[in-house]
Chains A and B, each alone.
Chain A
Amino acid sequence: MSGASDVIEAEARRDVRNRWLLSMPALLIILLAAAGPLLIVLVYSFLTPGPYGDVQWQPTLSAWVNVFLERDIFDETLSLADAHVSIFMRSVWLSLVTTVLTLLVGFPTAYFIATRPDNSRELWLFLITIPFWTNLLIRTFAILQIIRNEGLINNLMIDLGIFARPVQMLFTDGAILTGMVYVYLPLMVLPLYASMEKLDFRLVEAGYDLYATPFRVLRRIIIPLVKPGIIAGSILVFIPALGAYVTPSILGGGKNLMLGNLIELQFGQGRNWPLGAALSITLMLIVMVALLFYVRNAKGSGARHG
């Protein structure tokens, strides 16, 4: 008897050990590729910038002070770093608008796919993934070709006599938004679809049977049920949008900076690595706050209909 239970116990122990061994590579990668560099970034943010990039090993808080405060070049007085603060606000704002716009476009798209017959859904989903086949940079340059002053839209509008002269679309916030909505749309559609696919459409029918208006059905039945998808999609769009680099640097013309560009500037031309590191950590903190906010909201919704 006891022999048998020993065998079972040994088996279980071996099982646990195997599982640990099998997950070792992944754990090592996480440790080396994520935690390690993060630690370096954190340490660098407390050091002094070297004259041509790099850091000098003299601990200081000045990088962190510089994230929000600016030391006057002439009289060394501190004032609010309005450039940094407005770039932070702008990044958060543009990312929020991107999230809302992708939700507005992505929701009907996902609903459309989820309500197709089983055999054609695959095809629609497949179509959603097509943009991923092309490199992000190339897609962004394609948008640039369309909206530039002698691009497709302006030329067409001038030929039709609607515009008298080209309208400046490139290098504006609108251009950045267009690019980001286009790039991040699939990230919104896919999780939305995943939760709509599980939606029990008999509930929708029941709502109509009880004389609910379509808007009421949407608001009281569909949205609460697909809320996990909305939250997942919003997180997947908002977080990368906040750190977007390629889109604002091409469509924003290198002047309309977002956080990603500001950080790059500090590590490149600005040669102020500690400030770049401090800005990166600040970006991470914003993401964490946003995530906590989402998670708390998600819990509330789960309890109601779970």
Chain B
Amino acid sequence: MKRITTTLAFAAALLASTGLAHAEGVLNIYNWGNYTSPDMIKKFEDQYKVKVTITDYDSNDTALAKVRQGGSGFDMVVPSQNYIPIWISEGLLLETNPGGMENFKNVAEEWKNPEFDPGRKYTVPWAMGIVGTVVNTDVYKGDINTWGIIFDTPDELKGKVNVVPEMTDVIDAAVLYNGGTKCTGDLTILKKVRDTLVKAKPNWVAMEYGTIEKMGSGDFSASSDWNGSAFRQRLANPKIKFGYPKEGYVNWSDNLGVLKDAANVENAKLFQNFMMDPENAGMNSAFHRYANGIAGSDAFMPADMKDAPEIKIPAEFASVGVPSQTCPRKSRSFTRRSGPSCRSKLPA
């Protein structure tokens, strides 16, 4: 009898404690791996008494596939701008109207009314950057400002090149490398793109997301990568440099939205507003090392971010950047069909 009472008491205590935790609030964020400042999250947790959980993904497709099934349990997600129209049209994002939030005034002018989310009805800026290359210049001394690193891999780098598995990025790079324009539907270009990929793949060693760690440890000597990630690699090893492909590169942004089936909508809205505060956005940039689209946030970033070669685009490459956008169905279906087969094609 005594044991039963103790068990009951214990169960009651357990229930009470979970009830308490619930009352204080939770927030589940689904974001790209290694992309969220722990200090900034801690600040949010302390300020609003909300427990934040972060789960990683490694590509837009992975995130979309998982959330689309419903019941994922996540409250927020950070898709790239070219995917946001899809998230909206698929009815996955909740219209939280960040444009009307208190901190919206801090959003930089050029990000206030973007094409992918007119009037900022769904998302707030998280980070923006460039798709380029990273190369360990100890291993390869030649020109790194070219997609040739990935598609016509120099001998020194053969078998040491990684490609980040964001298929749209890979296809875009191959299109630009073959002289096409982003989202092209031109079949002669797309055929060249396919041949380029088939020819390039045997020289790659892996298709992984975790470049910061594996470039640092020497498992990869080069990779396709994003500039903030490259920045962090250079801080760990000054020999790792970011290349701006002269054939053209894509400028992208990732934006924070709330899921339609979110369980913690109020906390998610608090977090959207929180992210538009310059101090918090600056803290986040200090971690992921990308620009963030919030005016005045540079005051809260480390001094080395101002003139970093990964952030300040050299004048000679400034003109070849193209904006990321949602491609029409035709070229999207090319990406969709060639992407997985590119991943599953084996080295010769």
Contacts and interface: CB of A to CB of B under 8 A. Distances in A.
Interface string A228-271: 00000000000000000000000001111100001001111111
A73 interface: yes
A254 B340 contact: no
A66 to B, nearest CB: 10
A256 B159 CA distance: 13
B86 interface: yes
B65 A257 contact: no
A269 B61 contact: yes
A272 B340 contact: yes
B62 interface: yes
Q: Which of A83, A266, A269, A270 has the most CB of B within 10 A?
A: A269
A269 B344 contact: no
A149 B217 CA distance: 7
B167 interface: yes
B65 A53 contact: yes
A170 interface: yes
B82 to A, nearest CB: 14
B344 A149 contact: no
Nearest to A250: B208
Contacts of A266: 340
Contacts of A254: 165, 206-208, 343
A301 interface: no
A53 B162 CA distance: 27
A139 interface: no
Nearest to B57: A268
B22 interface: no
Interface string B150-173: 000000000110100101000000
Contact of B167 (A52, A73, A171, A269): A269
A269 B166 CA distance: 9
A254 B165 CA distance: 9
B6 interface: no
A148 B201 CA distance: 21
A70 interface: yes
A73 B337 contact: yes
Interface residue range, chain A: 20 to 34
Interface in A212-238: none
B338 A73 contact: yes
A171 B345 CA distance: 15
B4 interface: no
Contacts of B68: 52-54
A90 B347 CA distance: 12
Interface residue SS majority, chain A: loop
Interface stretch (B40-48, B125-133, B186-194): B186-194
B346 A87 contact: yes
Contacts of B345: 83
B69 interface: yes
B208 A74 contact: no
Interface in B257-291: none
A73 B344 contact: no
A168 interface: yes
B231 interface: no
A269 B339 contact: yes
A269 B165 contact: yes
B102 interface: no
B204 interface: yes
B341 interface: yes
A53 B344 contact: no
A257 B159 CA distance: 16
A18 interface: no
Contacts of B162: 253
Contact of A74 (B190, B207, B340): B190
Contacts of A170: 219
A168 B159 contact: yes
Interface string B93-129: 0000000000000000000000000000000000000
A148 B217 contact: yes
A267 B190 CA distance: 25
A150 B62 CA distance: 30
A168 B340 contact: no
B205 interface: yes
A269 B343 contact: yes
B307 interface: no
Contact of B343 (A73, A90, A255): A255
Contacts of A265: 340, 343-344
B50 interface: no
Contacts of A171: 205-206, 219
Contacts of A84: 344
B218 interface: yes
A149 B167 contact: no
A52 B65 contact: yes
Contact of B64 (A53, A83, A262): A53
A86 interface: yes
A83 B61 CA distance: 21
Contacts of B206: 171, 253-255
Interface of B: 59, 61-62, 64-66, 68-69, 86, 90, 159-160, 162, 165, 167, 187, 190-191, 194, 201, 204-208, 217-219, 334, 336-341, 343-347
19 contacts: A52-B86, A53-B68, A53-B69, A74-B191, A83-B345, A84-B344, A149-B217, A149-B219, A150-B217, A150-B218, A171-B219, A253-B205, A254-B207, A255-B347, A256-B346, A265-B343, A269-B65, A269-B343, A270-B340
Q: Top 7 nearest A-B pairs by Cβ distance?
A: A253-B206, A270-B340, A269-B61, A149-B218, A83-B344, A254-B207, A53-B65
Interface of A: 52-54, 70, 73-74, 83-84, 86-87, 90, 148-150, 166, 168, 170-171, 253-257, 262, 265-272
